[in-house]
Amino acid sequence: MDLAKIEKILKKEPDEAAEELLKEVEKVYGEVPYILNFMRDSPELLVSKIIYENAIVREFKRLDAKTVELISIGVAAALRCEHCLKLHIRVAQKLGVTKEEIFDAILIAGSLSNAAVLAEGTRAMDAEKLGLKDECEVCGIPEGKEKKD
């Protein structure tokens, strides 16, 4: 959505802008996601959410639509958001993404989720065993200093 279109939308009444944007979302997804329907009663929030998400997910052209949906599937699977996962699987299938490609995205998400659990858990174990104090503010890795009581 270019800036001129955003400006045009923002000049409308919030309810009217929200309904126009929801129609655009429905064209892309084939449906309106639950959370966006839920937000209809807060059109100011809904409009800004849709414009923001559209700029990230739909407007840049460095990734094609199939890749965006595979990333969305992986993230939804890792976050265990069943509703998002099902929605993005439906959209991916409409775009011609195969069952095998969808499964690969889920496998990758599972592998990374597993690695995150292991990394977090083992760092916490080491920190406690070694009596380390606070973690690094940037990366969360224990700083290696003894705890001060």
pLDDT band of residue 53 (cuts 50, 70, 90) is confident
Residue 135: its pLDDT value, please?
A: 62
**Structure pTM?**
0.74
**CB-based burial label for 113 (10 Å; 0-12, 13-18, 19+):** middle
Q: Which of the pair, 6 or 91, is modelled with greater confidence?
A: 91
Residue 105: its pLDDT value, please?
A: 97
Residue 52, CB half-sphere, CA atoms under 13 Å: how many?
A: 7
**Cα-Cα end-to-end distance for the chain:** 55
Q: Which of the pair, 135 or 120, is modelled with greater confidence?
A: 120
**Domain ranges within the chain, ordered by starting residue:** 1-60
| pLDDT tens string 67-85 | 999 999 999 999 999 999 9
